[in-house]
């Protein structure tokens, strides 16, 4: 019985060059932020961005990040964003890692000319990290929609 030599599934596609890898991750960071970074900025008065919760009005009413504005991703358009400053960055969030509402919201906002980042982890990880929330149900609200 002859056996075939094993080959690496990891390396069958060669790794990119360090400069390509650096560019990739810098581009990724330009479009994403995380719960810890948003909380850090808010704690230190660095609020040069508008925080938007793109979940439903009901979910927002029950539990949201204090100071966040509610604009469901399906309602993002020229009329609903007319009062927003296009020179101010926007950070969007939704339910959590399994939700693509923030991704949809970020895409819609970018198409309207806004600079936008998605907050990875959403309200789920905001709460998991012990940060304050507002709303009628607060910490007892559902973690998923």
Convert 66-92 into a string of H (helix), E (strand) and C (coil): CCCEECCHHHCCCCCCCCCCCCCEEEE
Asked if the structure places residue 86 within a domain, the reply is yes
DSSP code at position 134: B
Does any domain span residue 39? no
With cut-offs at 50, 70 and 90, classify the pLDDT of residue 145: confident
The SS3 assignment for 116 reads strand
* CATH number of the domain where residue 73 is located: 3.40.250.10
Q: What share of the chain is helix, strand, coil (3-state, %, to 5)?
A: 35, 15, 50
Average of per-residue pLDDT values in the chain = 95
Look at phi and psi of residue 78 and say left if phi exceeds 0, alpha if psi is from -120 to 50, else beta: alpha
Is residue 6 situated within a structural domain?
Answer: no
**pLDDT for res 130:** 96
Taking a C-beta distance cutoff of 8 angstroms, is the pair 75, 68 a contact? Answer: no
**Structural domain harbouring 75:** 46-130
**Per the structure, how many domains does the chain have?**
1
Residue 26 lies in a domain: no
- Residue 85 counted as domain residue: yes
Length of the chain: 145
Q: What integer pLDDT is reported at residue 103 of this predicted model?
A: 98
pTM of the model: 0.91
Asked if the structure places residue 15 within a domain, the reply is no
Mean predicted confidence (pLDDT) in 129-133: 96
Is residue 88 in some structural domain? yes
Tell whether 18 is covered by a domain: no
Give how far Cα 64 sits from Cα of 105, 134, 138, Å.
Answer: 16, 5, 8
Q: What is the structure's pLDDT at 1? A: 66
């Amino acid at each position: 019985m002859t056996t075939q030599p094993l080959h690496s599934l990891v390396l069958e596609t060669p790794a990119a060059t360090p400069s390509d890898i650096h560019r990739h991750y810098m581009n990724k960071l330009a479009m994403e932020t995380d719960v810890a970074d948003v909380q850090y900025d808010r704690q230190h008065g660095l609020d040069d961005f508008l925080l938007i919760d793109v979940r439903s009005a009901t979910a927002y009413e029950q539990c949201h990040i204090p100071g966040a504005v509610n604009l469901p991703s399906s309602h993002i358009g020229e009329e609903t964003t007319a009062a927003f400053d296009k020179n101010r960055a926007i950070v969007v969030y939704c339910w959590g890692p399994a939700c693509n509402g923030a991704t949809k919201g970020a895409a819609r906002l970018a198409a309207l000319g806004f600079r936008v980042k998605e907050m990875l982890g959403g309200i789920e990880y905001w709460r998991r990290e012990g940060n304050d929330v507002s709303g009628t149900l607060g910490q007892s609200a559902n973690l998923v929609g």
